[in-house]
């Protein structure tokens, strides 16, 4: 096995945590809400149920809960963090950033706290930023959180989107590594020409909220699912392959693949293109649906909890999202 240690960015994830609302919405519940069936949803997406936040819960609430759990595991007090980076497409407010509301909720201040808007690739974008802050010596303890309340931006009458998404948050505390673990290689990018394939048209300066946008439900997810599907597989597999090659690894070196959990067909197609055996792919989409930027850190937390990741393991994470963005990270644990 060969590693390009010379190039490795030495960081360590010392704590992870997740927050999931208690309320569960099953495919059978959805059958009573829109013209769909459990069979259609499972065969097209692999999703069986998802968690839905209550009316009072905003993204920062879930982010704060996941952050606290990750900090507890890491033995780090939230007030000691050098930076808080929140990846989300469903912020509490247009401004300030959700990360600022998280500070308010936790009663802390001082450290730079900001959001990253890169859709479902957001957590890996945020991890890339955290890694570089640490390697540059700018920060020593950074928390990276992906959090979403997708249920408040979907049109619950649109069966082509409302069955896909869920709510939740996942967090990771990142610190300097000891030289034996870290990011072996990563790959990230964006093709903004594809932006209209998946976006929320209203609520920004292009189309401010009005009675008309409200009537047209233009403040909800608009997506051309079939086109998104094709780009998703190409981008997730492409980003992962480039990162694996840059790390000079063979596919057989990979211990665990954690792809963005959009749906099992996209994940399976990505895994097959990479040539990674099925048992090495970690899947939670059946339980939670697509939680955009939160899916990878939630899966990472569950994988750690289940003992699926040990020191020295090679973990590959890969994602695509609105933008279109893509990102992959090859970590030596
Ligand atoms: O993080 C990124 C977020 N986006 C995604 O992950 C979405 C990527 N796209 C996809 O996963 C797939 O395109 C879908 C799961 C959204 C749809 O699967 P598909 O294989 O593209 O659908 P299909 O071609 O087999 O079926 C489309 C049909 C349409 O009916 P007609 O026009 O063929 O009569 C839809 O109206 O399925 C209909 N349909 C549904 N039927 C039952 C759409 N949604 C539903 C539904 N239940 N929930």
Say yes or no: 159 and 219 in one domain.
Answer: no
Choosing from 120, 162, 181, 190, which is the catalytic residue? 120
* Spans in the chain with pLDDT lower than 70: 1-6
Q: Is 187 tagged catalytic?
A: no
CA–CA gap between residue 172 and residue 316 (Å, rounded): 15
* Lateral strand order in the sheet of 256-259: 182-190, 325-332, 314-321, 256-259
Ligand 1 centre distance from Cα of residue 263 (Å): 11
In the structure encoding, which two tokens stand for residue 285, read together?
């989409």
Say yes or no: 14 and 132 in one domain.
Answer: yes
Ligand 1 centre distance from Cα of residue 89 (Å): 22
| Model pLDDT, residue 2 | 42
| Model pLDDT, residue 332 | 96
Say yes or no: 218 and 140 in one domain.
Answer: no
Per DSSP, 291 falls in state -
Ligand 1 centre distance from Cα of residue 130 (Å): 36
Q: Which of 179, 206, 235 is the last residue of a domain?
A: 179
CA–CA gap between residue 140 and residue 20 (Å, rounded): 28
CA–CA gap between residue 182 and residue 172 (Å, rounded): 14
CA–CA gap between residue 281 and residue 131 (Å, rounded): 24
Say yes or no: 247 and 203 in one domain.
Answer: yes
Contacts of 243 (CB under 8 A, 6+ apart): 184, 185, 186, 187, 316, 318, 328, 329, 330
CA–CA gap between residue 330 and residue 254 (Å, rounded): 9
| Model pLDDT, residue 23 | 98
Q: Best mutation site among 29, 160, 265, 269 for ligand 1, i.e. most ligand atoms within 8 A of its Cβ?
A: 160
Q: Which of 179, 196, 229 is the last residue of a domain?
A: 179
| Model pLDDT, residue 156 | 97
Nearest CA to ligand 1 atom 45: 160
| Model pLDDT, residue 7 | 73
| Model pLDDT, residue 94 | 95
CA–CA gap between residue 281 and residue 257 (Å, rounded): 5
CATH of the domain at 321: 3.40.47.10
**143 and 85 Cβ atoms separated by less than 8 Å:** yes
Say yes or no: 116 and 259 in one domain.
Answer: no
CA–CA gap between residue 15 and residue 93 (Å, rounded): 28
Site residues for ligand 1, CB cut-off 6 Å: 36, 40-41, 44-45, 120, 159-160, 163, 223, 225-226, 228-229, 262-263, 290, 321
Nearest CA to ligand 1 atom 32: 160
Q: How far apart are the first and last CA of the chain?
A: 15
| Model pLDDT, residue 184 | 96
Ligand 1 centre distance from Cα of residue 198 (Å): 14
Q: Which of 88, 205, 189, 188 is CA-nearest to residue 144?
A: 88
Q: Which domain holds residue 257?
A: 183-332
Q: Is 190 tagged catalytic?
A: no
Ligand 1 centre distance from Cα of residue 271 (Å): 21
Count: domains in the chain: 2
Per DSSP, 1 falls in state -
Say yes or no: 97 and 217 in one domain.
Answer: no
CA–CA gap between residue 55 and residue 74 (Å, rounded): 31
**114 and 86 Cβ atoms separated by less than 8 Å:** yes
Alpha-carbon 100 to chain mean position: 19
Nearest CA to ligand 1 atom 38: 160
Say yes or no: 135 and 263 in one domain.
Answer: no
**pLDDT tens for each residue of 77-89:** 999 999 999 999 9
Q: Best mutation site among 30, 36, 44, 232 for ligand 1, i.e. most ligand atoms within 8 A of its Cβ?
A: 44
CA–CA gap between residue 281 and residue 268 (Å, rounded): 9
Q: Is 219 tagged catalytic?
A: no
């Amino acid at each position: 096995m060969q590693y390009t240690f010379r190039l490795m960015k030495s960081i360590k994830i010392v704590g992870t945590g997740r927050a999931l609302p208690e309320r569960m919405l099953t495919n059978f519940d959805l059958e009573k809400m829109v013209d769909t069936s459990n069979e259609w949803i499972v065969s097209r997406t692999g999703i069986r149920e998802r968690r839905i936040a209550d009316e009072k819960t905003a993204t920062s609430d879930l982010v704060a809960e996941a952050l606290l759990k990750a900090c507890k595991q890491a033995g780090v007090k939230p007030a000691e963090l050098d930076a808080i980076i929140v990846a989300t497409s469903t912020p509490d407010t247009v401004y300030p950033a959700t990360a600022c509301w998280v500070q308010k909720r936790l009663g802390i201040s001082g450290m730079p706290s900001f959001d990253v808007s890169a859709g479902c690739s957001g957590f890996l974008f945020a991890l890339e930023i955290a890694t570089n802050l640490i390697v540059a010596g700018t920060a020593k303890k950074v928390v990276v959180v992906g959090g979403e309340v997708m249920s408040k931006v979907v049109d619950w009458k649109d069966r082509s989107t409302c069955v896909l998404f869920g709510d939740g948050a996942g967090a990771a505390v990142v610190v300097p590594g000891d030289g034996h673990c870290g990011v072996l290689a990563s790959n990230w990018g964006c093709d903004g020409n594809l932006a209209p394939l998946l976006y929320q048209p209203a609520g920004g300066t292009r189309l401010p909220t009005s009675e008309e946008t409200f009537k047209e439900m233009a403040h909800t997810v608009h997506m051309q699912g079939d086109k998104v599907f094709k780009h998703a597989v190409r981008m997730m597999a492409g980003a992962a392959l480039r990162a694996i090659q840059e790390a000079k690894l063979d596919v057989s070196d990979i211990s665990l693949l954690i792809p963005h959990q959009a749906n099992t067909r996209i994940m399976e197609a990505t895994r097959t293109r990479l040539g990674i055996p099925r048992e090495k792919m970690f899947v939670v989409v059946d339980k939670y649906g697509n939680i955009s930027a939160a899916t990878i850190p939630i899966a990472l937390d569950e994988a750690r909890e289940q003992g699926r990741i040990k020191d020295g393991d090679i973990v590959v994470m890969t994602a695509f999202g609105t933008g279109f963005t893509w990102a992959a990270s090859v970590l030596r644990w």
